Amino acid sequence: MDEDDSMVIDSGSSSNANASLSNEFDIESYINSYTGLTKILRLLFIAEYSEDPKLKSDAFKMAASEVMKTSNIELYHNIVTKSNGLIKFDSQWVDNTTKKNSSTIDKLEQDLNVAKANIVKDSIRIAQSDLGEFYYRSGDYSNSLKCFVRTRDYCTSSKHILNMCFNIIKVGIDYSNYSHVFTYTTKAEQTPDIDPQSIAKLRAATGLANLESSKYKFAAKKFIETPFEQNASVFSDIISPQDIAIYGGLCALATFDRAELKKKVLDDAVFRNYLELVPEVRELIRDFYASKYAPCLNALDKLKPVLLLDIHLRAHVDNLYSRIRSKALIQYISPYVSVDLVSMATAFNTNIQQLEREISKLIMDDSINSRIDSHNKRLYSRKIDQRSTTFDKSMQVGHDFISNTNHLLLRLEMLNNNLTVNNGRKDDKHGGPGGPFGFGNIPMELIQQQQQMFAQYQR
């Protein structure tokens, strides 16, 4: 059927924009969803990549204020340097923090030595963990990781193992070592008697690691499977509930088919709770499923400036958007024999030249089987003749059967005349290559059956 004579794709908007996310980026409200080092790193990331001078200034000031609550002198220097004079260097704070760090590390190392001397496993574990936490807050990634890993030998309960895993996962995410995240989320999930909050945190961490590895479908599944927690502080040192909705929703749009999108996203009772936190993402997913591509893509365009300020999503925004748009184009084209490119360009809020380039790329990638009539501005689908294809496959199966039967008869004739080939390889259980009869992987039952048939044929 032609597109002109069938359903019309709605290009009207059904999404109500959430001003707090799309139009006015409230950095204070946004950053309060996070705690710990990830809060500072996200502020610094916004300050570096924001094109809004006021937002950049606010982010630098908030980052400097937060880092001065920690003992991370190196990160403080980094913020001051990148602020280009916006943040004044506080030498007194640096001197005081340096002295405090020195005395703290001496005390922690002394506590560790005492625990080792007393040979008390739990005391050693606690001392190693405290030392690792100090290094983590001070920005010493290498030593922090070493201390947390060493606590593994002194864990005596499931709770201790989970605590060790979460510490390593936290360090791995903040310092972009996602191989450790994969390793220790798997280890933690195998821990007996794991509580729902820990499951939620582990799935969120695994989803984040898959996102950073560009495994978008796996990431979507993990985010969607994350149990909803009313207490957002459960994973605030890694991710926020709003992030789960955004990351999971975009990855699902880019990789799920329509059936999966309906069942696993829109109709999923748990993930729906996350989507309610970000109504824009919820509405654009509904628009995409309802084939309202213009409002869906418009909503994505409005979200893009904010998403580009996300420390984990920025590197993947263009790729995800490209996949989502390509899926929308394919779904639009698939029901029709021919499509009017003018109407399609209107539906996708683009011009015909850009649309032709996009469709040409899909044709070159074998994503669609169509041809473009640039003169008449139409797209024609090349429908596969299923009858001819089935007939050709049937003929090929017949030819293969005749060829295999002739080969088998030849081998049986050789066997009947005591002619064998031995290439020195070991026999397999079916008299395989190198066996006494050279029958390859043909089952002995079939060989015996053919021997009987061949004997009857000779008579």
Among 134, 137, 195, 110, CA closest to 161: 195
249 within domain boundaries: no
410 within domain boundaries: yes
425 within domain boundaries: yes
Which amino acid does the sequence have at 317? V
Is the separation of the CB atoms in 9 and 293 below 8 Å?
Answer: yes
pTM, full prediction: 0.75
Crossing angle for the helix pair 241-255 and 216-224, to the nearest 10 degrees: 130
Identify the sign of the CA torsion 72, 77, 80, 84. negative
Give 75-139 as a DSSP string. HHHHHHHHTTTSSPP-HHHHHHHHHHHHHHHHHHHHHHHHHHHHT-HHHHHHHHHHHHHHHHHHT
Name the domain count of the chain.
1
420 within domain boundaries: yes
433 within domain boundaries: yes
54 within domain boundaries: no
| 222 token code pair | 């993990």
Residue-number span of the structural domain to which 438 is assigned = 404-458
Rounded to an integer, what distance in angstroms lies between the CA atom of residue 121 and that of residue 420? 69
431 within domain boundaries: yes
Per-residue pLDDT of the chain (459 residues; tens, 9 = 90+): 554 443 333 434 333 333 333 346 788 889 998 998 999 999 999 999 998 889 999 999 999 999 999 999 999 999 999 998 888 999 999 999 999 999 999 999 999 999 889 888 889 999 999 999 999 999 888 999 999 999 988 888 889 999 999 999 999 998 888 999 999 999 999 888 888 888 999 999 999 999 999 999 999 999 999 998 767 677 888 899 999 999 999 999 999 988 899 999 999 999 999 999 999 999 999 999 988 888 898 899 899 999 999 999 999 999 999 899 888 888 887 777 777 788 888 778 777 888 888 888 887 877 777 777 777 778 777 766 567 778 788 888 888 888 888 888 888 888 887 776 665 555 544 444 444 444 455 555 655 666 666 555 555
Rounded to an integer, what distance in angstroms lies between the CA atom of residue 136 and that of residue 174? 10
280 within domain boundaries: no
